[in-house]
């Protein structure tokens, strides 16, 4: 949190000294997006009871995960400072651990509304839907999930010039995933705070 405040204050100081005509007027168009790559490795040790001989045993497990995601963005200013738009997304994830290998492909769409203040700060609200298909290697079965999410954020737009901005922000993310193949429609929820940096081009 302290780092985010420091970055925003630095951007505000630099931006305040530049007389840049910000392209946030009615009729302007904004293009942007984000991409990410993550890799994780988890080493675990489990203790379990063998009901046959009544003894406890230990089992080691290694888990590796790779995720790649892309999310372009398109927006249109309906009035000065206020932009509405849409952001499609795609992600690929592969998880491997003991006796298991799974691949998930996810497709999503998220409309958003965002307001830029004259001093460079902005407030944003995004709500979306994502559909994910999980395929386990060696098993002729696919598990399907649907995700509903909402994500408000606040940040600061640092305009490098009259066409390009870098936008650090603090975001709250809520997501609810529903297992479409489960009769009882089981679900799980995610609540998290995220720091992100966006890159936008204005036309």
- Evaluate whether residue 192 is within a structural domain: yes
Residue 26 is classified by DSSP as T
Quick check: is 9 in a domain?
no
Mean pLDDT for 88-98 is 86
Task: Provide the domain limits for residue 50.
Answer: 23-202
Strand spans (E) along 55-141: 55-79, 82-97, 100-116, 121-136
Band the pLDDT of 75: cuts 50, 70, 90.
very high
User: What residues form DSSP beta bridges with 113?
Assistant: 84, 125
Report, as an integer, the average pLDDT of 63-91. Answer: 91
With b for 16 or more beta-carbon neighbours within 10 A and e for fewer, the 3-40 pattern comes to: ebeebbeebeeebeeeeeebbbeeeeebebbeeeeeee
Please tell me the distance from the alpha carbon of residue 105 to that of residue 148, in angstroms, as a whole number: 16
Q: Examine residue 194 and state whether it is found in any structural domain, yes or no.
A: yes
Evaluate if pTM is beyond 0.85: no
In sequence order, the β-bridge partners of residue 114 are: 83, 124
CA dist., res. 197 & res. 165, Å (int): 10
| Residue 143, domain CATH | 2.40.160
Burial class (CB in 10 A: 0-12, 13-18, 19+), 188: exposed
Position 10 in a domain: no
Asked if residue 1 is part of any domain, the answer here is no
* Contact of 54 with 45, CB cutoff 8 Å: no
Residue 8 has, within 13 A of its CA and on its CB side, a CA count of 17
> How many folded domains does the chain comprise?
1
18 in a structural domain: no
Does the pLDDT at position 58 exceed 80? Answer: no
The whole-number pLDDT of residue 156 equals 92
Contact 79, 86 (CB under 8 A): no
The Cα 15–Cα 156 span in angstroms is 10
pLDDT tens-digit map of 22-47 = 888 999 999 988 777 788 777 766 66
pLDDT above 60 (res 7):
no
User: Which pLDDT does position 104 carry in this prediction?
Assistant: 87
pLDDT for residue 2 is more than 70: no
* pLDDT for residue 29: 94
pLDDT tens profile 167-184: 888 888 888 887 766 555
Rounded to whole angstroms, how far apart are CA atoms 35 and 91? 9
Q: What is the mean pLDDT of the chain?
A: 81
Residue 17's pLDDT is 41
Q: Can you tell me the mean pLDDT for 57-64?
A: 72
**Lowest mean per-residue pLDDT among 54-68, 122-136, 179-193:** 179-193
pLDDT greater at residue 147 or residue 20? 147
The pLDDT of 3-8, averaged and rounded, is 56
Give the span between the Cα atoms of 182 and 143, in whole angstroms. Answer: 9
- Choice between 109 and 14, residue whose per-residue pLDDT is larger: 109
* Residue 28 included in any domain: yes
Residue 99 lies in a domain: yes
């Amino acid at each position: 949190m302290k780092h985010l405040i420091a970055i925003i204050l630095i951007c505000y100081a630099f931006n305040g000294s530049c007389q840049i005509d910000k392209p946030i007027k009615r009729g302007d168009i904004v293009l942007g997006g984000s991409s990410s790559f993550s890799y994780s490795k988890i080493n675990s040790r489990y203790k379990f009871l063998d009901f046959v001989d009544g003894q406890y045993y230990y089992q080691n497990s290694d888990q590796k995960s790779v995720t790649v995601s892309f999310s372009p963005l398109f927006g249109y200013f309906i009035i000065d400072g206020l932009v509405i738009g849409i952001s499609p997304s795609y992600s690929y994830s592969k998880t491997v651990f003991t006796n298991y290998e799974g691949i998930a492909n996810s497709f999503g769409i998220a409309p958003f509304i965002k307001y830029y203040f004259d001093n460079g700060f902005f407030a944003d609200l995004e709500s979306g839907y994502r559909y994910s298909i999980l395929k386990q290697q060696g098993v002729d079965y696919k598990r399907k999930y649907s995700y509903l999410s909402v994500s408000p954020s606040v940040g600061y737009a640092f305009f490098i010039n009259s066409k390009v901005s870098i936008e650090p922000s603090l975001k709250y993310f809520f997501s609810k995933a529903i297992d479409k193949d489960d009769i009882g429609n089981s679900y799980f929820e995610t609540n998290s705070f995220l720091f992100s940096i966006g890159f936008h081009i204005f036309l």
